[in-house]
Amino acid sequence: MELRQEGITDTRVLSAIERVPRDRFVLPHFEDQAYANTALPIEQGQTISQPYIVAVMTSALDVNDRMKVLEIGTGSGYQAAVLANLCRRVYTVERYPSLLRKAEKKFLELNLHNVTSRLGDGSNGWPEQAPFPRIIVTAAAEEPPQALLKQLAVGGIMILPIGSTLSNQDLVQIRRTDSGFELAKILPVRFVPMVLGVAGDG
């Protein structure tokens, strides 16, 4: 993964990514591609993001070891594992029971004891633990979910893809100020869409 050549300069983020074995989070028949700079399919029609996008999102989140982070869309668990190396605690929400079980198993195997996960509708966030100084969303919505905006602390940062179609999405950084929200576009992306509700996949 040539992330430095791609312009990623945050040494803490690079170190965290290097410490997380991506091959543990991909499907067995994709293990030979685990360290390629590309997104890969996982179960339930979801994906594990390419390392470059993980690095960009994590860098833009500007997290430190005193913070708690809310992640919407656990997926394979890879992004949460990277964040666990950078922050005090990760709260992560997943709508697919089977994905959540596999991710939780990976967190245990890798001794990531500062990750707390739950099954739920990500658009509702995690109100019991709000406010969050940092929120990261790994599925695209047409607009930022209102519940997540409310759960973002004043002075906090949210990173998420916004767009209605695969071909029209932007990764954005939202900062909450005393008077409202400031939005800045980072780069075009392609994420799976955010879907409301909890899936019944057993």
pLDDT in tens, 162-184: 997 777 899 999 999 999 999 99
For residue 167, the enclosing domain spans: 11-188
Among 49, 76, 117, 123, the active-site one is: 49
Is 202 a residue whose pLDDT tops 60?
no
Residue 120, domain member (yes or no):
yes
Known catalytic membership, residue 98: no
Helical residues (DSSP H) of the chain, grouped into ranges: 11-19, 51-61, 78-84, 97-109, 146-151
Residue 52 placed within a domain:
yes
Residue 149 domain-assigned?
yes
Domain count, the chain: 1
- For residue 201, being part of any structural domain is answered with no
2 versus 78: the higher-pLDDT residue is 78
What is the reported pTM?
0.95
Three-state SS letters, 13-26: HHHHHHHCCHHHCC
Q: Torsions phi, psi of 57, nearest 5?
A: -65, -40
Asked if residue 202 belongs to a domain, the reply is no
Asked whether residue 195 is domain-assigned, the answer is no
Q: What is the CATH number of the domain that holds 172?
A: 3.40.50.150
